[in-house]
Amino acid sequence: MGHRAVLAVAAALCVLSTTACTTPSDELGDGTRLDAVLDELVERADGPLGVVVTIDDGSTTRVHTAGRAASGSSDEPGAGHHMRIASLSKALTGATALSLVDSGDLSLDDTIGDWLPDLPDAWHPVTLRQLLGHTSGVPDFGASPEFGEAVGESLTAAPPPEEILAMAGTGTDFAPGERYEYSNSNPFVTALIIEAATGQQFADVLAERVLDPLEMDDTHLPARDDPELPDPTLRGYDVALDGSVEDVTEAVSFGGWAWASGGVVSTPEYLGRFVRGYLGGDLFGDVVARAQRRFVDPGDSSPPGPGDNSAGLALFRYRTRCGTVYGHTGSILGYTQFMAASADGTRSVTFSISTQASDDLVEELRKAQVLAVCEALR
């Protein structure tokens, strides 16, 4: 058995362990172990066609890839490939709101009733803090049968966000602040509050407050009737258990149907830039950051991220065997995403795959994400 094969076997055994272990490649810090695990992911029957991982250790950025950017192509996926970032969009929406809190245009104690009196009366006491922390009790429109039927009838032409939000009903699932429960409705309401407070379209405020300051040129929120992605593209696929694949990259206009909750398009490179700026104080000051980092346990992101998860305001804490990072996960038709950074924003990791992961694949992803976090924090 050759040296590379020995490393691959060691990596496979090590990733199954819940405790820290070392291989020669650990000591070198060259990412060999991570590369072996990425290769295993794309070789799974339910695995993605492509994987892109970026790791920034504070001085250099490394890119690790496996598989292909598209079916039938020999091109490798890359850090500059466009993709749907799924629920990582929630962090960008949260960053926009927290920037407005920092500038005094909003308060975390502002309520839905203060800014959006036409929304259901039962929602009026809910605060911006509760929306950002998923403790609002506002039902998830995505869980309603009406939403699934509506998407099926009009994949590439979504209605206005107010109409989508109305599919959540008029009640609450629990009293505001009573507990944590992840809901796609929360960023929708947050974005509508942002529009009410600024008098601008959410996409414009997102650009003004987040994308432009961080120079995220290849990041945007598409129009609600625009399902296309720019080139170069990491194509997204629906992968069946028998290994058959269907290209779903542009099947749905997620800029409308997922909007502020999951509609943004970006690249791995710019996700790394965002999460470093988000944690590093580039978008709001220490007072707001301290409020953001009051975490609720348990508080899993969706899908769960690596290690133990806790929920803050548009931010999750991931405690792993190699240390703690802060960020977000996401899952949408064609893609599964993870981004995180150290507490000071100097180190980051992004992890993108080109399929919506099954429950079994999510568990393998979480193990692989720990390896990536270890590479970033070593």
Give the pLDDT of residue 243: 81
Angstrom distance (rounded) from CA 14 to CA 1: 18
DSSP per-residue codes, 35-100: HHHHHHHHHSTT--SEEEEEEE-SS-EEEEEEE-SSTT--PPP-TT-BEE-TTHHHHHHHHHHHHH
91-210 belongs to which CATH class?
A: alpha beta
Beta bridge partners of 67: 50
Per-residue pLDDT, averaged over 25-44, amounts to 80
10 vs 48, higher pLDDT: 48
- What average pLDDT does this structure show over 60-74? 97
Q: What is the mean pLDDT of residues 292-298?
A: 96
- The predicted model gives 259-271 an average pLDDT of 98
At residue 7 the predicted structure's pLDDT band, cuts being 50, 70 and 90, is: very low
> Averaged over 281-292, what is the pLDDT?
98
Each domain of the chain, given as residue ranges in start order, spans: 3-86+232-377, 91-210
Q: What is the mean pLDDT of residues 147-165?
A: 96
Mean pLDDT of the chain: 92
pLDDT of 347 reads 98
Q: Does the pLDDT at position 371 exceed 90?
A: yes
Mean pLDDT of the region 158-178: 98
DSSP 8-state code for residue 251: S
Start-to-end CA distance of the chain, whole Å, equals 29
151 φ/ψ angles, rounded to the nearest 5 degrees? -65, -45
Confidence band of 30 (pLDDT split at 50, 70, 90): low
- pTM exceeding 0.85: yes
Q: Which CATH class is domain 3-86+232-377?
A: alpha beta
91-210 and 3-86+232-377 share a CATH fold: yes
Can you give the pLDDT at residue 16? Answer: 30
- Residue written as tokens 């929406």? 93
User: Mean per-residue pLDDT for 44-64?
Assistant: 94
| pLDDT at residue 236 is higher than 60 | yes
* pLDDT value at 8 more than 50: no
Which pLDDT does position 10 carry in this prediction?
Answer: 29
Residue 376 pLDDT level (bands cut at 50, 70, 90): very high
Q: What is the pLDDT of residue 29?
A: 54
